Chain A
């Protein structure tokens, strides 16, 4: 922040040396055919790097105006929108660039992975179908992107969850993990199940411990085996428990946790149809148990290596625990999450919580940019770079380590520009990660306050629940003072609408503003608190009069911010926002519903807007 003031004085038309060399930069282009060797190279570069920049390219972005994250979105609605887009579109390019920062020099090692969600195992994964935006594809092809190469030779992948599914499909047993004991009391059926499993295991286990049976005749032994359902796993005795749902698997494991000293559980998918069983293996000692567990893990790892595909790269990045640099972290990580872990959760807190476990530190370049210049033109990496060059003196040299066989290939070059931009921003923010090997972690520490911020627009106060209305306006409004209006004449500009509203009723006599969300819907911001509630109740009351009555009788409707949040949360993304409001709340008697939820909303809205990962 200190850099902000002095930076202006240092304004200079600094020479863009690094841009001149941009022509020479080349990016390793990775396809299925050269994936294995590239992965080895990447592994080495990741371990020697300070940061890892990522850049993703999808098959499109939302074409409807209101589906895009806007300045008036809270973290919650922004997440819903990003989730919607990430689920629709497919990532085709995934550029990864481990880089080191030395003084004012950046050494980058960019790799551009071409992905195609090919169904390699015939399990209809990772993606049954995906959406394409035709204008987006057309512009990619204009830039020279080779769709043929991407589709013919792109790398496929499976998320962790899909891998589990694939194992089920292919009948590969998985080491069971003991679940945490559920606090809620089990249902009647579950209680029956739990009790039965418990007594069965006891009996079975006892039969081995009971020395009196050791000397039995073979016939007796095999009879006992038959009765107890005992089998053998390798040289160790084992038993299979049939289960009929994931829930019961959990219950079985819960019971088995009580015998965890010498039993190793293994969940086995019955071949083909995906019916589960839990196999229990009895070990003779603690060492024997560790040995078995190691054995099982190695076996599993070998068997599933081929399943993971590109996920190896994400696993690698995650395992390195290096800070990640991204241009738009919410967009990128809503795409990465389902490729890496599992389908996106509906709740943003849960998303951030589990994301934090695998990517502890993520820097959003857009966010850093806004820290420096809240109103600066930062629409693209190029404009952001030239803006910084004009406003600040922060020379950064970028060196791209050449990768063999990538000469003249520039797809995914943006990832290098992100490294460049990030290094520049860091040096401006006076928290330059000038790391000598020893204290790199310490230096990165000063940056930490900017890490893991996924909310769409920055604000001075992290606990602020406000939204900003315009991208280039620092004024902030409370969500509660915002009303969505639709059903006005088509094609009206915000100015025209404002002049129509002005004087139509006394609520509009105070200072208010209008912004169009899309061509069908606008938001009204009351700068004086309480008026939004007035408007909503007026719209619903019978004693409407004057010009506002005319507008309402022509179809004008209104809803509060909670209704908008509900639309986003439920994923009801019609093309026009007005249609979304109309379709989904037509039978809800809109306004009164707004009022009933209004109260609850106030209670939790304090933490709703700005959530730092650190606080979780």
Chain B
């Protein structure tokens, strides 16, 4: 939530602090702590949450993450097409961890005409619970600024790491179960054992001793079936290493205190000398493996035993995997109850939920949207809602649509504990918060920015907005749900595609629309961005700024050729041309100038852009390709290199789609040479007639040109 944009969140905190200060005489809201849930109280908390969610009309959520963007250029920009925006959200959800998850079910109490809210603040941490899982899957990234932001609000990192609830996604769980299956099949396939050669004297002696002990035990078993107690006594002297027990009604010897090497020898002795004794390892308790020597009556019994042991061990492992599901139970609950989920600017949250609890994020936004919709069918974004109606917008006036300012403005009664005389707040929806047994109608959980409190605020804002939109709350029958309310329906599953942009994606259809639903007022009406008109340039001399780049391109292609230049970071710019043709003209010219690298090229106005020899250029699709890479370098130019781009110019005709294309060298296209020359001619005609142009025709030698240039330019201060 807030740390998505630290500055905004800070202002939110400030505004809240100011608001509190302003009304210091007014009744202060009740302050009692949030319900924090960690692994120690997870089970009971989950049970009570289950009931609250079942009874709820909607559930508000909020997430705290360890970061938002893995590199500055991965932040959200105006020049990002919706599929690129999705790739950036995807990258964020894949790299960063969720450390806190706020869940707050809201239930409409018809008698008292108010909502009852039950905020829960879950600490979660991607702890590896299963030793046989891949540890790399639990690595996560921290964005220094976000962690610092959390620290500013006294986020308890120790609590999170020590006590945080772990989780396992559905995909991971299935994968682990499948692997379990595979490994048991593998064991069947490679059943033969090779004997350990008995070289060391100690091994020989040990094997003999074990053999005689087993023989003794075996004989006693056969001759006197009631000898166990007696035998037990006789083994007590050897540090209890062998102890008679029963395994599934069969007599058995429990082995303890042996080294793995000794166990291997015991196993070998058993295999080679005792037909009716089987060496097995069984799971006892949670993680202990107990080796046993079990007596079997016959071969069929032996097979039966082996199967039993294997099944039991399998069940034990499966149980371990199931118990590692952890916090995902909460998400499974939300998903199976099909409740309306309410979040504030929550597209990234949804991506995180999908990645952490369901599975890998697909590459295409449409695909993501349709499968997310299957798991969580009703999601509503309060930010979309706040931007949707002109009345609400007017009423919010200039205050930002950040969560805390919306909360302070829409629900002063809850936030500050007083009834405002504000005209609009007359229709205030009452919300009562309940934490364990404490109830209050206004609540401040302390100065902290905790996911649980933010979820509560989101839910309150939602209730208030609904009431402004004229949505009536009434007890609903089981078949009727709030999400299907005809007033609300047009807002359901409309989410802002990224955290600072107004493109809205519809989770039900996958369509992206420009701006708000149902609003006639659009404050951000930019001229439409045509992505096919865009060239991406990186690695240019770092003195150049956007305006200078625009100037130097305009000199070549005409004053109106460049619509806009936008800096992605200090190494990279987007240049939008007037028409798509200019994109390929530009790329061809650049390639030609660099290939020739002669005095004439140097005199081309475009050369100042190419100076240094590291300037690369490509079309918009390359940008998307680079965004889809899992690598994240700090600067875009480094990223391009890390992704494997070795060429300097990608001409449009030699485009190789997909990941493959990035790794391959962009071969320069011979057929384009003629075109390149003609462009060069054109630009020479266009460019200002200068002394150098004349010399060009007279074919002066390089040295002559230089000399005359120096003579001409001595008094000039600026280079070029």
Contacts and interface: CB of A to CB of B under 8 A. Distances in A.
Contact of A491 (B66, B72, B183, B598): B183
Contacts of A243: 543, 719
B612 A247 contact: yes
A242 B702 contact: no
Interface in A497-540: none
A264 to B, nearest CB: 20
Counting chain A CB atoms within 10 Å of each CB, the highest count among B70, B154, B541 belongs to B541
Contacts of B183: 491
A210 to B, nearest CB: 17
B144 A152 contact: no
A320 B664 CA distance: 49
Interface string B537-554: 000011111000000000
Contacts of A2: none
B281 to A, nearest CB: 18
Contacts of A127: 144
Interface stretch (B272-280, B481-489, B708-716): B708-716
Interface in B157-203: 157-158, 161-162, 182-183, 186, 190, 194
Q: How large is the interface on B (under 10, 10 to 19, 20 to 34, 35 or more residues)?
A: 35 or more
Interface string A266-284: 0000000111100000000
Contacts of A191: 706
A195 interface: yes
Given A274-B542, A496-B190, A151 B151 contact: yes
Interface string A57-73: 00110011000000000
A248 B542 CA distance: 11
Interface in B565-580: 570
Contacts of A116: 148
Contact of B151 (A63, A152, A188): A152
Nearest to A195: B710
Given A60-B139, A151-B147, A134 B543 contact: no
Counting chain A CB atoms within 10 Å of each CB, the highest count among B71, B144, B660, B714 belongs to B144
Contact of A135 (B135, B598, B713): B135
Interface string B596-637: 001100100001100110000000000000000000101000
Nearest to B601: A188
A203 B714 CA distance: 9
A137 interface: yes
A60 B97 CA distance: 15
B710 A199 contact: yes
Contacts of A117: 144
Interface string A125-136: 001111111110
Contact of B144 (A119, A246, A571, A584): A119
B142 A138 contact: no
Contacts of A491: 182-183, 186
Contacts of B570: 274
Given A191-B706, A243-B543, A245-B541, A124 B72 contact: yes
A192 B140 contact: no
B134 interface: yes
B308 interface: no
Contact of B126 (A90, A134, A152): A134
A132 B142 contact: yes
Given A141-B158, A191-B706, A587-B664, A118 B144 contact: yes
Contacts of A273: 545
Contacts of B194: 495
Interface in B52-95: 66-67, 70-72
B145 interface: yes
B634 A128 contact: yes
B529 to A, nearest CB: 24
Interface in B522-566: 541-545
B143 interface: yes
Contact of B140 (A134, A146, A148, A495): A134
A612 interface: no
B127 interface: yes
Contacts of A203: 714
Given A192-B709, A196-B719, A245-B542, A119 B148 contact: yes
Nearest to B147: A151
Contacts of B157: 147-148, 151
B161 to A, nearest CB: 4
A193 interface: yes
A575 B134 contact: yes
Contacts of B151: 148, 151-152
A147 B714 contact: no
A601 to B, nearest CB: 22
Interface residues of A, number: 60
Counting chain A CB atoms within 10 Å of each CB, the highest count among B541, B706, B719 belongs to B719
B602 A189 contact: yes
A571 B631 CA distance: 11
Interface string B435-453: 0000000000000000000
B141 interface: yes
Counting chain B CB atoms within 10 Å of each CB, the highest count among A131, A141, A188, A276 belongs to A188
Given A128-B143, A132-B141, A242-B719, A141 B706 contact: no
A130 B141 contact: yes
B144 A229 contact: no
A245 B610 CA distance: 12
A131 B141 CA distance: 4
Interface string B110-143: 0000000000000001111000001110111111
Given A128-B144, A199-B714, A229-B717, A134 B125 contact: yes
A195 B607 CA distance: 19
A189 B610 CA distance: 11
Given A133-B135, A188-B702, A276 B125 contact: no
A142 interface: yes
A132 B145 contact: no
A200 B139 CA distance: 57
Nearest to B157: A147
Contacts of A357: none
Contacts of B718: 242
A496 B542 CA distance: 57
B161 A189 contact: no
A196 B162 contact: no
B264 to A, nearest CB: 13
A44 interface: no
B95 to A, nearest CB: 8
Nearest to A227: B715
Nearest to A248: B719
Contact of B138 (A124, A135, A245): A135
A229 B718 CA distance: 11
Contact of A63 (B66, B135, B545): B135
A529 B174 CA distance: 47
Contacts of B598: 188
B156 interface: yes
Contact of B161 (A63, A147, A195): A147
Interface in B642-663: 642, 660, 663
Interface of B: 66-67, 70-72, 97, 125-128, 134-136, 138-145, 147-148, 150-151, 154, 156-158, 161-162, 182-183, 186, 190, 194, 541-545, 570, 598-599, 602, 607-608, 611-612, 632, 634, 642, 660, 663-664, 702, 706, 709-710, 713-719
Q: Which 3 A-B pairs have the closest CB atoms?
A: A244-B543, A147-B157, A63-B135
Given A135-B138, A146-B158, A247-B541, 20 more contacts: A124-B72, A124-B634, A128-B70, A129-B141, A129-B144, A130-B142, A134-B126, A140-B161, A142-B162, A148-B157, A151-B151, A192-B709, A195-B706, A200-B717, A242-B718, A244-B543, A245-B612, A247-B612, A274-B542, A496-B190
22 contacts: A59-B142, A116-B148, A117-B144, A119-B144, A127-B144, A129-B141, A129-B632, A131-B142, A132-B141, A134-B127, A138-B161, A141-B158, A142-B162, A151-B157, A191-B706, A192-B706, A192-B710, A192-B713, A243-B543, A248-B719, A571-B642, A575-B136
